[in-house]
């Protein structure tokens, strides 16, 4: 950790009024969406890093570094003649590298108090104290040290000014340094250079050459300063640009320095002695500065939501440190934490925790104490990843260890424990409700007094206080507190922590609070309608990247809207900056005097923003709905429902599940089910085991657990059956793991028939929900109402267009075995990226249902995708069922390309089918958003062969159906679930009324029969609703469907097992 790490770690610690009270520069509407973002190629997990570290840790060592036993310079360096500026600064740097920042301060202060050195060296040591005191929160002391250090002025003055939040003064230095005559005059810079020149005059340095060698460090520091200021203003793209410049300059300096053999001639060593400039670790520190610059770049990328790119930068940094310093070095451990934090932000909690534990193992190997800030940061990362997974039983002992480690250090305790919302959450989840209530009350009152009632910290603290009160048995008081804080919390969702880029962490924290409110209020039946609206709002995902891009395009069509958006963003950034200022100034001498003015400006900014949001909603309602859809009331949904319909909405929380059922008329039903999200997930996974075979044979298909599936029906749907029982058609709004389970395959009774002569025939007697009602799913209540408001499609539309059997590569073609499918084999469409062939250039025959893409450590190319020849037949049969000419409506092979998809005439079809692979970010090298795989130009198609969600948003569709007959397009998990949700939303926004999506890797023959039967029914009866057409096709498969042996013509096995008849879900409008 070099000085630049300290500077950046503290950048923005104190946002003083000199800038906070000034107007923020206008933000830009992100309308640059025409160019596809190509993400870097990244491994799927962290094994490439973790395995190397684990091997290194397994090697015994006797050379592990040992933390400093004392901070007295005389004890550390008994020989007075060796007690030089360089050796003392090296010791201080060593303490800092162990995370012992306070030890660094004590070493420097002890040296300054007991030893004599040249004035220039004193100034540099005081600058070290400025930054170190800032890290531990001693802002006033930092300012005092800064004033002392400026006896020798230099152009690095802007760095401590930046650290201390003196942005106006910092900007003045930057502007002067960037002025046209800066290189000619640069008064302070020349003074600094002359002093250093005098100290090393015997080396014969030329001042001009000296300056040019030194230029990269100066430029890198300037870029860092400008980037931090851009970030504070909310100009995150500008911050990224400056961060990239900083990385380039530091890398340039590292390259120059690494070529020099004589360290004494290196001008940036910062130490002046009679013998010249000497500092043995100069190059090592420069490497660390380069690493710090890359971490700063990753932070700027993360703030903008460019998480894949940020991960690539951090991975490169970690790998570089491992190669340079060793896989089990302290430097490696330090760099693992930012990478682990980013992975946790992406929802990859297991990977994040693995890196945290490896970092802790390395620190333990080097005997770094538990009080080290590096250790505390790694420990906190492990705790946060476990808390995000709601594994509170494991969080509790780790949190206790963290509190014990900082018990005797008030500075560390304030930073890592007292200000952390997890402190109260851990107490709540450990059944210490009274303690949690006291802690939360103290935190809420302190925040209100210091920061004001509307500050995010205050709002969250009051919500936690209310939860603790409910847990302590004081529900009325607790709910009253949360009722008051909830509106403000909802208005903050998706905006807090923009400066850190930790939207995921903030969203999880808010979800925890709102979920607690939902479960607390669910005990009161009178709150059920209000809780329904809130649950729908909580379930709605943050606007994904593809839809955000669509919103930007929408805004670009209107200059008035674009201007309103810019002004609203300015107001939001100003309010956010003032909130940050209030938090960072708390406890400093300037706070009391400046708080009233800051509060006044905050209120003005929030009034301005509220007014602008109202104007945008009134003048541009479509844009407002696109970025922030509001859930409809129960009454509005009932008005939308038809007489034979019902709707079920589910919210699965940590401690319980809430279920609502609505019919056209009558009283809505509401139930609080004592099954939390973890238990729901466990049960869903148990049921899904039967539809995820471990091989490609019929024998590999597990028995379906009717009893387990019925138990889900009994506990989730039966309690609200009174409202939906009369319905013939049912729309479900699932939540959590339940979205991975087609409700049509839930049994309504625990009955299964006896085994017959044909495999799976016993499932024909099961009382599936599909026998009682036609089932559709919808993403949200808002989408249900919105889709019902769409006008009917144009009467002159063509029936069908289908895209399938793309050509990814000739190798993929050869990988498909010739001949008929054997009766004992399942032709599974479950493999997306083919396994590597054992012989280079030879066709691979390793495609099987078990070869899932998620097993691949590294994403592949589009050429690695497995061929789908059966989809050609499927599309032909759908075209025939709909009476469409296959010669013109079925586009396969080279014609299945994105150019043909984008033809306007192909958007005006009643049914649009994509029988191909569905991909999520990382499946294909460079893919940053969900996509459908088509034929690329390299195989005779067009473009890169990827129809991304952004591309879909550009389509103008008038379609009743969009069929995504790919693998796992409905049931992806983690980031994949978010991505596929974005793809589905993109089709809805493009004009689709309903989607038919696959829930698991489909068996090709049965899937083809199901889809053709569905569309044959609709063609025969145009009045048949979509959900009823799907229901009819499912029942035909259950009752009469069977696989036929191509050789003998006999029926080999029945299609009554859900793996065959329930792979598709209807998402959207079931009419």
pLDDT on residue 744:
95
823: domain range?
A: 790-1020
CA 557 – CA 986 distance, rounded (Å):
19
Q: Among positive and negative, which fits the CA dihedral 1043, 1045, 1049, 1050? A: negative
Output the furthest CA–CA distance in the chain (Å, rounded).
100
- Map residue 939 onto helix, strand or coil: helix
Which helix (H) or strand (E) segment is 963 a member of?
strand 961-964
φ, ψ at 837 (rounded to 5°): -75, 140
Q: Is residue 1012 part of a domain?
A: yes
pLDDT on residue 851:
30
Q: How many Cβ atoms are within 10 Å of 405's Cβ, its own excluded?
A: 20
Which helix (H) or strand (E) segment is 803 a member of?
strand 798-806
Q: Under a CB-based contact definition with an 8 Å cutoff, are residues 194 and 263 in contact? A: no
Q: Under a CB-based contact definition with an 8 Å cutoff, are residues 320 and 328 in contact? A: no
Q: Is residue 694 part of a domain?
A: no
pLDDT on residue 7:
30
Q: Is residue 1040 part of a domain?
A: no
Q: Which two tokens stand for residue 828?
A: 């599974």
pLDDT on residue 695:
61
pLDDT on residue 279:
42
Q: Is residue 965 part of a domain?
A: yes
Which helix (H) or strand (E) segment is 1036 a member of?
helix 1026-1040
pLDDT on residue 1039:
92
> What is the tally of structural domains in the chain?
1
User: What contacts 391, CB < 8 A, 6 or more positions away?
Assistant: none
Q: Are strands 657-663 and 669-673 parallel, antiparallel or unpaired?
A: antiparallel
Q: Is residue 927 part of a domain?
A: yes
Beta bridge partners, 776, equal 731
CA 907 – CA 956 distance, rounded (Å):
6
CA 275 – CA 723 distance, rounded (Å):
90
DSSP secondary structure letter of residue 864: G
Q: Is residue 80 part of a domain?
A: no
Q: Is residue 1 part of a domain?
A: no
Give DSSP secondary structure letters for 117-184: --HHHHHHHHHHHHHHHHHTT-HHHHHHHHHHHTTS--GGGHHHHHHTT-HHHHHHHHHHHTSTTTTT
CA 396 – CA 718 distance, rounded (Å):
36
pLDDT on residue 970:
46
CA 204 – CA 214 distance, rounded (Å):
16
pLDDT on residue 649:
95
Give Cα separations from 659 to 193, 310, 1025 (angstroms). 72, 39, 26
Beta strands in 398-520 (DSSP E): none
Q: Give mean pLDDT in consecutive 10-residue pieces for the chain, a chain of 1071 residues.
A: 30 24 29 43 81 88 57 68 71 72 80 68 71 60 59 46 49 49 36 38 40 63 71 70 82 67 38 37 67 84 79 90 84 90 86 94 82 86 89 90 86 78 85 86 82 81 89 89 88 54 70 87 87 82 45 65 78 69 58 68 80 83 70 90 94 90 92 90 89 72 91 95 94 89 93 80 93 91 82 85 85 48 49 33 28 40 77 88 90 90 89 86 71 84 83 86 70 44 76 86 82 89 91 94 80 90 88 81
Q: Under a CB-based contact definition with an 8 Å cutoff, are residues 1065 and 777 in contact? A: yes
pLDDT on residue 609:
80
Report CA 637 to chain centroid distance, whole Å.
Answer: 32
CA 607 – CA 144 distance, rounded (Å):
38
Give Cα separations from 551 to 181, 610, 921, 959 (angstroms). 44, 20, 21, 22
In degrees, rounded to 5, the angle at the alpha carbon of residue 220 between the alpha carbons of residues 583 and 108 is 65
CA 575 – CA 569 distance, rounded (Å):
10
Beta bridge partners, 352, equal none
Q: Among positive and negative, which fits the CA dihedral 313, 317, 318, 323? A: positive
CA 36 – CA 412 distance, rounded (Å):
44
pLDDT on residue 758:
85
Q: Is residue 716 part of a domain?
A: no
* End-to-end Cα, the chain, rounded Å: 62
Q: Under a CB-based contact definition with an 8 Å cutoff, are residues 462 and 477 in contact? A: no
Beta bridge partners, 946, equal 933
In the Cβ-directed half-sphere of 107, how many Cα atoms lie within 13 Å?
30
| Residues making up the chain, counted from first to last | 1071
Give Cα separations from 846 to 695, 823, 831, 935, 1002 (angstroms). 12, 19, 10, 22, 18
CA 317 – CA 323 distance, rounded (Å):
10
In degrees, rounded to 5, the angle at the alpha carbon of residue 830 between the alpha carbons of residues 827 and 835 is 100
CA 1039 – CA 57 distance, rounded (Å):
60
Q: Under a CB-based contact definition with an 8 Å cutoff, are residues 909 and 919 in contact? A: no
Give DSSP secondary structure letters for 201-232: GGGT--HHHHHHHHHHHHHHHHHHHHHHHHHH
């Amino acid at each position: 950790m070099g000085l630049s790490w300290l500077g950046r770690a503290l950048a923005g610690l104190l946002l003083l009024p000199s800038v906070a009270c000034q107007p923020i520069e206008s933000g830009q509407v992100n309308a640059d969406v025409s160019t596809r973002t190509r993400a870097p190629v990244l491994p799927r997990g962290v094994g490439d890093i973790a395995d190397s570290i684990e091997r290194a840790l397994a090697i015994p060592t006797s050379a592990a570094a040992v933390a400093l036993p004392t901070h007295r310079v005389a004890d550390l360096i008994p020989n007075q003649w060796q007690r030089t500026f360089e050796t003392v600064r090296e010791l201080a740097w060593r303490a800092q590298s162990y995370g012992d920042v306070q030890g660094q301060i004590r070493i420097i202060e002890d040296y300054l108090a007991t030893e004599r050195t040249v004035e220039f060296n004193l100034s540099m040591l005081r600058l070290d104290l400025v930054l170190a005191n800032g890290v531990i929160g001693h802002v006033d002391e930092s300012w005092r040290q800064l004033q002392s250090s400026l006896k020798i002025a230099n152009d690095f003055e802007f760095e401590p000014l930046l650290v201390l939040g003196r942005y106006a003064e910092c900007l003045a230095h930057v502007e002067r340094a960037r002025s046209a005559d800066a290189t000619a005059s640069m008064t302070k810079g020349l003074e600094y250079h002359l002093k250093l020149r005098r100290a090393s005059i015997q080396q014969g340095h030329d001042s001009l050459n000296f300056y040019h060698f030194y230029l990269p460090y100066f430029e890198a520091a300037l870029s860092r300063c400008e980037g931090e200021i851009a970030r504070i203003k909310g100009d995150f793209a500008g911050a990224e640009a400056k961060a990239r410049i900083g990385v380039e300059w530091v890398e340039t300096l590292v390259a120059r320095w690494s070529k020099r053999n004589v360290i004494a001639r290196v001008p940036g060593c910062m130490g002046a002695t009679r013998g010249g400039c000497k500092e043995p670790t100069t190059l090592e520190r420069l490497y660390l500065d380069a690493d710090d610059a890359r971490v700063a770049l990753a932070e700027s990328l993360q703030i903008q939501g460019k998480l894949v790119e940020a991960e690539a930068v951090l991975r490169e940094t970690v790998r570089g440190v491992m190669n340079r310093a060793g896989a089990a070095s302290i430097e490696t451990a330090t760099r693992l934490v930012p990478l682990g934090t980013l992975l946790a932000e992406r929802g990859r909690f297991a990977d994040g925790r693995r890196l945290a534990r490896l970092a802790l193992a390395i620190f333990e190997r080097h005997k770094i104490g538990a009080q080290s800030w590096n250790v505390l940061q790694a420990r906190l990362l492990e705790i946060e990843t476990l808390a995000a997974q709601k594994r509170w039983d494991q969080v509790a002992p780790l949190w206790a260890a963290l509190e014990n480690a900082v018990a005797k250090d008030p500075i560390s305790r304030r930073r890592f424990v007292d200000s952390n919302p997890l402190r109260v959450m851990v107490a709540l989840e450990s059944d210490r409700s009274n303690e949690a209530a006291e802690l939360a009350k103290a935190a809420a009152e302190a925040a209100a007094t210091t920061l004001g009632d509307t500050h995010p910290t205050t709002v969250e603290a009051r919500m936690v206080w209310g939860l603790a009160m409910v847990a302590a048995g004081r529900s009325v008081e607790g709910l009253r507190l949360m009722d008051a804080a909830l509106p403000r919390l909802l208005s903050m969702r998706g905006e807090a922590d923009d400066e850190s880029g930790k939207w995921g962490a903030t969203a999880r924290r808010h979800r925890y609070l709102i979920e607690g409110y939902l479960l607390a209020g669910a005990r009161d039946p009178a709150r059920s309608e209000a809780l329904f609206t809130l649950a729908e709002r909580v379930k709605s995902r943050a606007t994904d990247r593809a839809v955000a891009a669509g919103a930007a395009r929408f805004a670009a069509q209107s200059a008035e809207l674009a201007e309103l958006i810019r002004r609203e963003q300015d107001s939001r950034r100003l309010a956010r900056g003032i909130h940050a200022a209030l938090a960072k100034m708390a406890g400093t001498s300037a706070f009391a005097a400046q708080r009233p003015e800051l509060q006044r400006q905050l209120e003005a900014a929030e009034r301005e923003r509220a007014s602008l949001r109202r104007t945008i909603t009134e003048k541009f309602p479509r844009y407002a709905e696109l970025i922030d859809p509001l859930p409809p009331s129960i009454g509005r949904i009932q008005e939308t429902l038809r007489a034979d319909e019902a709707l079920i909405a589910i919210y699965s929380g940590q401690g319980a599940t809430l279920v609502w059922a609505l019919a056209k008329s009558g009283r809505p039903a509401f139930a609080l089910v004592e099954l939390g999200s973890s238990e729901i997930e466990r049960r869903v996974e148990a049921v899904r085991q039967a539809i995820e075979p471990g091989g490609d044979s019929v024998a590999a298909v597990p028995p379906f657990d009717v009893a387990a599936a019925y138990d889900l029906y009994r506990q989730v749907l039966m309690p609200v059956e009174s409202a939906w029982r009369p319905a013939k058609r049912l729309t479900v709004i699932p939540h959590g793991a339940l979205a991975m389970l087609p409700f049509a395959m839930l049994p309504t009774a625990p009955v299964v028939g006896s085994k017959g002569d044909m495999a799976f025939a016993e499932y024909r007697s099961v009382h599936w929900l599909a026998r009682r009602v036609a089932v559709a799913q919808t993403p949200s209540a808002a989408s249900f109402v919105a889709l019902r408001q769409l006008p009917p499609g144009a009467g002159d539309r063509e029936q069908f267009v289908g895209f399938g059997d793309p050509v990814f590569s000739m190798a993929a073609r050869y990988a498909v075995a010739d001949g008929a499918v054997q009766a004992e084999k399942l032709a599974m469409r479950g493999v997306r990226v083919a396994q590597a062939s054992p012989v280079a250039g030879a066709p691979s025959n390793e495609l099987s249902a078990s070869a899932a893409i998620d097993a691949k450590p590294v994403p592949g190319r589009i050429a690695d995708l497995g061929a789908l020849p059966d989809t050609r037949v499927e599309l032909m049969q759908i075209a025939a069922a709909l009476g469409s000419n296959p010669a013109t409506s079925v586009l396969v092979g080279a014609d299945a390309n994105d150019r043909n998809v984008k033809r306007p005439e192909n958007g005006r079809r009643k049914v649009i089918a994509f029988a191909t692979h569905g991909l999520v970010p990382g499946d294909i090298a460079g893919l940053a958003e969900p996509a459908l795989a088509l034929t690329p130009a390299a195989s005779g198609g067009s473009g890169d062969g990827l129809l991304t969600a952004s591309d879909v948003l550009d389509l103008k569709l008038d379609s009743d159906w969009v069929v995504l007959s790919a693998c796992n397009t409905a049931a992806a998990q983690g980031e994949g679930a978010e991505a596929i949700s974005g793809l589905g939303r993109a089709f809805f926004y493009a004009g689709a009324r309903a989607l038919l999506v696959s829930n698991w890797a489909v068996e090709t023959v049965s899937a083809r029969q199901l889809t053709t039967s569905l569309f044959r029914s609709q063609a025969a009866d145009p009045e048949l609703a979509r959900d009823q057409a799907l229901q009819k096709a499912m029942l035909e498969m259950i009752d009469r469907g069977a696989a036929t042996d191509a050789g003998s013509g006999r029926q080999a096995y029945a299609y009554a097992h859900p793996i065959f008849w329930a792979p598709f879900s209807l998402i959207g409008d079931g009419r």
